[in-house]
Amino acid sequence: MERYYLAAMGGAEGFGNRSIKKLVEFCGSAQAAWSADIDDLIHAGILPKALDAFVAFRGKHPNAPEKLVRYCERHEFKICSFSDEDYPPLLKEIDAPPMFFYYRGKLEPPAQRIGIVGSRENTQYGQSVALELGEQLAAAGLTVVSGAARGIDTFAHRGALKTGRTVAVLGCGIELAFRSGKKNFFEQMTERGVVLSEFPPQLHPNAGTFPTRNRIIAGLCRGVIVVEAGKKSGALITSTYAGEYGRDVFAIPGEIYAERSEGCNELIRDGATLIKSAQDVLDEYGIEVGEKIKPAEPKKQIVLEGVAGKVLDAIPFDKFITDDEILIKVDEVAPYELPSIMLELEMKGCVTEDAGRYKRKIGG
């Protein structure tokens, strides 16, 4: 039950990892900390604002730990606490590591992980590079970590899913991910990796959740690759954390006049390692994979038959359309079948997705 008491304390907004750690160490256990009186909270060194937040939350939700047990069983979520054997060792080294996190999938603490991050607003060049890096690094035995956001993150995950493992670190509560339009995508990641979040399961993303998420991406990894990022991209927050934690920072160079590559080019100028392929990363780490990785060959035209082909034909090149619009055009498809078809089309590079809408890719 210890991990459920930890997670219950984490439900109090404003009562963060440092406060939880202080209180648990003072009381001797998470269960005792959950029941601590005001004097214990003060003597543990909890600041007044955090103290008030915790007391108010506990008063409103006195049975939160017990409810969390049933909730996690119902949704097939697990909780990993700081003291568990499968807590990733590298993550323990960062400043204010999460005292717990929710997850689905299989944790592999000794795995060597590499982060691949970049902007949501990206180019086809960035997408191709992220997909190729994810695929080749995962094939070499590295676990690819990213933030599951649209854009570079998603392409890095997709590439890794073709050949190996991937870890998605969410900037929202874990339940929201599995209720989203990308549910099948997340389900696939749990089969070949992990989806995790330190936030309460139903928490919606906000401006503060993504930097918090980014520190975990950096903390889990041996190094972080920035594929495509403008000067204000959140991916640069991840690379900053990586540098602070003593992790390696790699960057893909871009055109000097391209706004979406300004961040990467400046990282290289400031000392990040320039890489042009997955092989550069493997050479840096002395990882042998038998044969040297060859440059990607030009993609062959994808030919789809049956219902998937009809769905693809119904999707325009010049605008995004919704699931409902696709179903109207292709009456052979049942609503429950469409998500898996769309995931297949995304994985094959035939369509691009944005907020649950789809557009066909040129050449796809």
- Answer whether residue 29 shows pLDDT above 80: yes
Mean pLDDT, residues 197-215 taken together: 92
Query: According to the model, what pLDDT value does residue 300 have?
Result: 46
Number of structural domains the chain divides into: 3
Which residue from 230, 1, 214, 198 is spatially nearest to 100, judged by alpha carbons?
Answer: 198
Query: According to the model, what pLDDT value does residue 361 have?
Result: 74
Query: According to the model, what pLDDT value does residue 51 have?
Result: 94
Domain check: are 60 and 136 in the same one? no
Q: Is residue 81 part of a domain?
A: no
CB atoms under 10 Å from CB of 190, counted, come to 16
Domain check: are 253 and 187 in the same one? yes
Q: Please tell me what DSSP assigns to residue 361.
A: P
User: Which tokens hold the place of 111?
Assistant: 């795995």
d(C-alpha 169, C-alpha 147), whole Å: 5
Q: Is residue 59 part of a domain?
A: yes
Domain check: are 57 and 191 in the same one? no
Domain check: are 270 and 319 in the same one? no
Domain check: are 238 and 316 in the same one? no
Q: Please tell me what DSSP assigns to residue 205.
A: P
- Report yes or no: 198 and 102 within 8 Å, Cβ to Cβ: yes
- Answer whether residue 125 shows pLDDT above 80: yes
Give the largest Cα separation in the chain, rounded: 70
Domain check: are 174 and 268 in the same one? yes
User: Which tokens hold the place of 208?
Assistant: 């503060």
- Report yes or no: 108 and 142 within 8 Å, Cβ to Cβ: no
pTM: 0.78
User: Which tokens hold the place of 274?
Assistant: 């320039």
Q: Is residue 292 part of a domain?
A: no
User: Which tokens hold the place of 56?
Assistant: 């108010």
**Residue-wise pLDDT tens digits, 275-322:** 999 999 999 999 987 656 554 443 444 556 688 888 988 888 768 899
Residue numbers of the domain that contains 337: 306-360
d(C-alpha 341, C-alpha 334), whole Å: 11
- Answer whether residue 353 shows pLDDT above 90: no
**Residue-wise pLDDT tens digits, 127-147:** 899 999 999 999 999 999 999
